[in-house]
Structure 1
Amino acid sequence: MSAPSLADTSAQPLRHSVGWVYGVLLCVLLAWLAGILAQQSAMQKAGISVLPLAIVLGMIIGNLAPAPLRLVDAGIQFAKGRCLRLGIILFGFHLTWFELLAVGVGGLALAVTMLSMAFLVTVYVGTRYLGMERDTCILIGAGSAICGAAAVLATEPVVKGRSDQVAVAVATVVLFGTLAMFVYPALYPYLGLSEVAYGRYAGATIHEVAQVVVAGAAVGQAALHAAVIEKMLRVLLLAPFLLLLSAYLLRRPDSAAASQDAKRLVIPWFALGFVAMAGVNSLAWLPEPAVAGILKLDAFLLAMAMTALGLSTRLRDVLRAGWRPLLLAAMTALMLLGVGYVLTRWWVA
């Protein structure tokens, strides 16, 4: 075999740069399209946010594209990595410390307990009784316990999960979070909870932020306000969760994270940036239009990351996962529904 010519060698960086540009532009285009679809009244009524729409569009293009996407893979990987981490950091502008302090001990205990229980039980049952891959269980548990698709995306760099594992986790948490969005308001007349208690219950147990908003608004403004604050508290717990998970995986020699960083703790710096931005938002240094612009940028960056995830996911790999992820996610959703209600009656109502 002859050695590559000088012209071929010099052309490789150029092809990489062109592929990076076109890959990023493809993610930008699909994220923009997902944003337009998410603004349609039918999507808003259904509580379907831009993130699941972005991954669906990415999967459609990625699986049907006539040309091989490896030509633009550099840009796709950039969106999956750098755009994702920056999006998680800016996600902190959804929070203020002062609002979270109003939750009280009962609300904090409810959020921490439900997060811990949902995650640990999901991972245990999935690996022990369903024979699933641990990384898939971790991603499903994180999405169910914290904040849906955004939590799955934030957890992926820590566990070094495959694209098909992330896609399966996102699909399951979106499905059962969407069902919860309609089930909770239907059950409200029979729960014996005040609007505020119901809001705390919904915020502590429903997956996605958008789904919590719909479920709370369906009952009343007091329920909506309490639900959003409780949900934001769960979102804030994302940072310590990722730090603890990283430390745990370091001790597991069979994990991808441990094998790649065997000698040191992998600190998810973007999680610390997330907490820092929540602190900046609490100080109210920035005018409201600036914060609104940051939130729009954040939504777009996360949509780009989800699009890139969809583009790099093969549908056959998702289907190969079978019924076990659905069963596991359904079990977690039922546990959140039942145990969350009992704890709400005990600590909040």
Structure 2
Amino acid sequence: MHTLPLNKRDALKNTVPQPLRFSRVIPGLALTGVITAMAVWLSDFPALSQLGLSALTLAIVIGMVIGNTFYPAARPWCEEGVTLAKQRLLRLGIILYGLRLTFAQIADVGATGILIDAMMLCSTFALACWLGQRVFKLDRDTSMLIGAGSSICGAAAVMATEPVLDAKAEKVTVAVATVVIFGTAAIFLYPWLWQLNAHYHWVNFTAAQFGIYTGSTVHEVAQVVAAGQGVSPDAENAAVIAKMIRVMMLAPFLLLLSGWIARGKGVKEAGEKSGLRNITIPWFALMFILVAAFNSLDILPHSWIPQLITLDTVLLAMAMAALGLTTHISALRQAGLKPMLLAAILFVWLIAGGAGINELVHHLFG
């Protein structure tokens, strides 16, 4: 019987996904757990809570401090657990977030929320492509990756768009860096904008409408949760609903982008190179809707809900801590000036243009 040489068998073995080893993820999960405990403890201090610094916001701040000081030395032991928290625990936390909502609340966001999300997605991505290629003379892939991350759901959208474009790894890294930088800034900026708007009355937003504005303009799901929580529970709920609608637009966006590439390159060539088979469907967004539907049926005992919501908060805080641990100041240098300028202009558009679009849609259809 024919057998592979030892070195080839070892190489083949390394290409097969290995089962998750709990001993390798425990250190990272323990670290994010300790950061979460510190964040929850600090969030109870009135001086911090009055500033809108929630447990999620504090978790990412503490994570960023540790991530840029002590964490590099511990990364070999903690990296797998931190990655698990940043990816899987975040998705589980978003799924469980559906227990805070009912379809009646989702209906309150309604068609206006869908319209706002669609307008923000199309306008932001189109602006990224035009500015990136015409003004900053960036290549198509970098412009589109930054545009996808800014207009849909941050790093997840960048990673999902990469196989469609067949983009190089360094371009993906640059796009993810811009998303992390400006999305993290939004966590602190949006609660402050809410307070300023309450004083100066720039736009006539209720807490729920400001939540829709947050969900339709902030990059990452976790960042939306943290920013919304820094405003109010009503804003947080509306923000998450609007954001999840936006996330679910990822699949049709990728299909349309694939079709556009196919039209430009030829159907056969694009079918081979644009990664059509690798399109990522955001299943956690669909599960979020299913959990919200289940919660609307009022089947679970009411005594279970507070415990499950507490668990959800812990999971989200651990994900935020992991996001902070992996956010490095060096990302500013790595991204380069032109991609950073493009992402900065998109960030300004999301804030100012997003406020205008939200105000217009609420005025016409609200």
Query: Normalised by the size of structure 2, how large is the TM-score?
Result: 0.70
Aligned to 2:277: 263
CA distance in 1, matches of 2:92, 2:237: 23
Aligned identity (percent) is 24
Deviations, residues 21-48 of structure 1 (Å, cap 9, x unaligned): 2111111111222222333323332323
Given residue 328 of structure 1, which amino acid in structure 2 is its aligned partner? Answer: L
Q: Is the 8 A contact 1:139 1:169 kept in 2?
A: no
2:362 to 331, 335, 344: 344
Q: Secondary structure at the match of 1:237?
A: helix
Aligned to 1:280: 294
- How far residue 230 of structure 1 moved from its aligned partner, in angstroms, is 4.7
Provide closer, same or farther for how the CA distance between residues 346 and 129 of structure 1 changes in structure 2, counting only shifts above 3 A: same
Aligned to 2:13: none
1:110-259 mapped onto 2 (5 Å cutoff)? 110-130=112-132, 131=136, 133=142, 134-142=144-152, 152=154, 155=157, 158-159=160-161, 162=173, 164-188=177-201, 198-199=206-207, 201-207=209-215, 208=224, 230-231=238-239, 233-238=241-246, 240-248=248-256
Q: Is the 8 A contact 2:160 2:279 kept in 1?
A: no
Aligned to 1:99: 105
Q: Secondary structure at the match of 2:94?
A: helix
Aligned to 1:10: none
Aligned to 1:145: none
CA distance in 1, matches of 2:258, 2:41: 41
Q: Is the 8 A contact 2:124 2:350 kept in 1?
A: yes
* 1:78 is the counterpart of 2:52: no
- How far residue 19 of structure 1 moved from its aligned partner, in angstroms, is 3.7
Q: CA RMSD for the aligned pairs?
A: 3.5
Counting matched residue pairs gives: 307
Q: Is the 8 A contact 1:108 1:233 kept in 2?
A: no
Q: Is the 8 A contact 2:68 2:328 kept in 1?
A: yes
Aligned to 1:299: 313
Aligned to 2:110: 108
Q: Is the 8 A contact 1:100 1:232 kept in 2?
A: no
* 1:335 is the counterpart of 2:353: yes
> Structure 2, unaligned stretches of length 5 or more?
1-6, 8-17, 163-171, 216-223, 266-271
* 1:289 is the counterpart of 2:291: no
* 1:45 is the counterpart of 2:50: yes
CA distance in 2, matches of 1:282, 1:214: 26
CA distance in 2, matches of 1:259, 1:318: 31
- How far residue 330 of structure 1 moved from its aligned partner, in angstroms, is 1.9
Q: Is the 8 A contact 2:191 2:230 kept in 1?
A: no
Q: Is the 8 A contact 1:95 1:281 kept in 2?
A: yes
> Structure 1, unaligned stretches of length 5 or more?
4-12, 143-150, 218-223
Query: Normalised by the size of structure 1, how large is the TM-score?
Result: 0.73
Q: Is the 8 A contact 1:52 1:170 kept in 2?
A: no
Given residue 307 of structure 1, which amino acid in structure 2 is its aligned partner? Answer: A
Deviations, residues 258-308 of structure 1 (Å, cap 9, x unaligned): 979652543222222111111111111112331222222112112212222
